[in-house]
Structure formats: structure tokens, C-alpha cells
Amino acid sequence: MAKHEPNRIRVPVERAIRECRLYVQGKQYPGQANYITALKDIEELSDGTSQDFVMVTLEEPSEEQMLRVAQRYGVDELIVEDAVNAHQRAKVERYEDQLFSVIRSVQYADNQDIIDRRDIIQTGEVQMVIGRKFIIVISHGTDLPNPEMRLHQAPELRSKGPLSIAWAISDYLVDEYTRIAEQLETRVDDLEEEVFTLRDEFDIENIYTLKREILEMRHAIDPLIPALRALIQNHKDLTSKQIRAFFRDVLDHAMLAKDKIDSFDERLSSLIQAGSAIISLRQNQDMRTISAVVGMAAAPTMIAGVYGMNFENMPELQWHYAYYVCLAAMVGVVALMWWWFKHNNWL
């Protein structure tokens, strides 16, 4: 008897598509397009004088959804596998006349106290498949920026084809790195002041938590530097001189953010060492204080213990004022020990 595969619910591709736009003569064509007919539509609208293209944005597509889009746009099957699997390092790879780019997005949760929140830095992923007539943008765990806002600031790129969209998205994400780095600098400064203000108590766990989150951000930024260099230097036949110049500016901003994050990591490592040393000193001080208190209690205890023994022939046992002298001796010894410990900073 033949075996039948279990029925699977097929989710339409349209459920994963957030936008499908046509760019004609450097301008976004009004209205949404159909991803199936978009390439044909762009051919009909293009007059051949500009690099007209299609932009398709997807949000966490399934393998089947991504495969159907890839078949429609002639995307390499190896790209499909990478596009479905998130949590990749930043990279730029070439497949014949197509580029596949991955950039990690970073979000900073500054509305919660560091003690109450463990995910200060949250990362997502933006993938871009760039062809000569199209760009497919896939988001995983992040909101996609509107490229029109960036292209409005650089209108000369509007006629440079799909790479103009890739630049707009990359520039936005890298600018977020810089903005978050500035906010983290304030956080690190506050921790330094907290640690080195000796009169204040501090929780060293806060430093460990922030260091862990900064390491997460380093994992997002560090691989992007060689990826951007590869895009600028190794694919000149697919990128114009002007596009490379704009991506070089993105690279500069990424390197600036990387330098800041690296410095924060080093400062936090120093803070951990300093904090551990301060905690150790405070623990030693606490032990000395405890020892001093125990020492002061030991002297009267010893005197009381001696005169509490049930012997008949003991000096001053029958003396009328022995009780008061004994109490005075206890107080005097404790006072003397207190002065000595205080003089030596044990109390």
C-alpha cells in the first residue's frame, strides 16, 4: 500500500511579502506591484535610459515561500537556504551577477533598568539579494527602515539601480550602531562613577550584564567591516564609482561604531577588575570589623567565665565590692580594645 505524505498547510507567499514596489527613472512608482508580474511590468515601464528595478520585501519567509520568490526572480538556490536561516554573520557573497548581503540590526532597550532587564541589546537580521533588475530584502526579528527617507537625502543615487536601496538600508542600520554606541557610553560612564565612588554600594552583576550585551553588539558589528570592504573592492563590475563612495561612508561609520564598542568592552573589563578588588577590600574590612567585635566580646566573657567557676578559695570572691570592680574591669578592657581597633581602622 502506498504511503501518503501528511498534509501540510501551505501559507501563500503574499503572507510573507510586506512590499513590492517598482522604481522607474529613480522614482518609486505609485501603488503596490504583484511580485509575479513585477519584472514584466518594469520592462514595460522602462525606457532604457535608467536602471529601473523591482524591490520586494519579505518578513521571515518559510523555505517554500522563499523558494517560490527565488524561482520567479532567478535567485540561486544556495541563497534561498541562507535567506531562510537567520542568525548569520554579516557578509557579502557573490553568485554570478547577484550579490547576497547580510547585516545584523541592533536595538537598544533603554526603557528598563539594567537590573530588571537582561536583554539590553537585541539583534535582528536583514538580508538582501541584489540583482541587476531587482532587490529582495528579507527581515528576521527586526523592522525594515523606509529606504525612501535615505534616498531623499541622496537623490543622486536614485538612478543607480537596486544598490541604492541596499545602501539606504545599510546606512540606516549602521547609523543605529553609532546612535546606540552613544547611549552605551552614558551607561558605561555611570557605572564607572558608581564603582569609583567608594561611599556608594554597587552591584558588580550590572557590569557583567552590560559587558555581555556589548559582546553581543560586537558580534553584530565586527564581521560587517570586512564584508563592506569586500563589497567596495571586489565587485567593481556590479557597483558604480558613486555607489562605492557612498558605501565607503557606511564603512567609515561602522568602523567608528566598532572602535567605540571595543573601547567600552575594555573599560568594562577594567571595571570588573577594579570592582572585584574593591569588593575584596570591603570584605577584608568586614572581616576585621567582625574580628574586632568578637575580640571585644571575648575579654569580658573570659573574666565572667573565670569568676563563674564554683571554687571556694578564689581571690576577692568574698570581697564586698568585687562585683562592681569586675564590671568596671570588663568595661575598661572593652573600651581600651575599642580605642585600639578604632585607631587602627578596624572599626
What digits encode the pLDDT tens for the residues 54-105? 999 999 888 888 999 999 999 988 888 888 887 788 999 998 889 999 999 9
pLDDT of residue 313 exceeding 80: no
Is 3 among the domain residues?
no
pLDDT of residue 216 exceeding 70: yes
Q: Tell me, yes or no, whether 180 and 160 share the same domain.
A: yes
> How big is the CA angle at 313 (ends 307 and 317), to the nearest 5 degrees?
45
- Domain closes at, from 226, 248, 276: 276
Range of the domain at 310: 285-344
Q: Tell me, yes or no, whether 310 and 182 share the same domain.
A: no
* Residue 186 burial by Cβ neighbours in a 10 Å radius (0-12, 13-18, 19+): exposed
CATH at 292? 1.20.58
Which range has the top average pLDDT, 8-12, 209-213, 280-284? Answer: 209-213
pLDDT of residue 226 exceeding 90: yes
Q: Tell me, yes or no, whether 158 and 20 share the same domain.
A: yes
Q: Tell me, yes or no, whether 155 and 252 share the same domain.
A: yes
Task: Give the pairing of strands 98-108 and 27-28.
Answer: unpaired
Please check whether residue 167 is in contact with residue 150, taking contact to mean a CB–CB distance below 8 angstroms: yes
Is 173 among the domain residues?
yes
Q: Tell me, yes or no, whether 141 and 251 share the same domain.
A: yes
pLDDT of residue 5 exceeding 60: no
- Domain closes at, from 247, 276, 305: 276
Q: Tell me, yes or no, whether 187 and 327 share the same domain.
A: no
pLDDT of residue 8 exceeding 80: no
Give the pLDDT score at 200: 59
Q: Tell me, yes or no, whether 317 and 190 share the same domain.
A: no
Q: Tell me, yes or no, whether 290 and 248 share the same domain.
A: no
Sheet containing 121-130: give its strands across.
27-28, 17-24, 53-59, 134-140, 121-130, 98-108, 91-95
Please check whether residue 20 is in contact with residue 55, taking contact to mean a CB–CB distance below 8 angstroms: yes
CATH at 126? 3.30.460.20
Is 262 among the domain residues?
yes
- Domain closes at, from 221, 247, 276: 276
Map grid coordinates 567582625 to a residue: 290
Q: Tell me, yes or no, whether 248 and 324 share the same domain.
A: no
Is 4 among the domain residues?
no
Q: Tell me, yes or no, whether 236 and 305 share the same domain.
A: no
Amino acid 77 reads E
Is 186 among the domain residues?
yes
Is 20 among the domain residues?
yes
Q: Which of 66, 131, 140 is nearest to 105 (CA)?
A: 140
CA dist 221 and 180 (Å) reads: 12
Map grid coordinates 561611599 to a residue: 199
Q: Which of 121, 176, 96 is nearest to 144 (CA)?
A: 176
204 pLDDT band, cuts 50/70/90, is: confident
Is 25 among the domain residues?
yes
Q: How many domains does the chain have?
A: 2
* Residue 333 burial by Cβ neighbours in a 10 Å radius (0-12, 13-18, 19+): middle
Q: Tell me, yes or no, whether 64 and 89 share the same domain.
A: yes
Is 2 among the domain residues?
no
Q: Tell me, yes or no, whether 269 and 290 share the same domain.
A: no
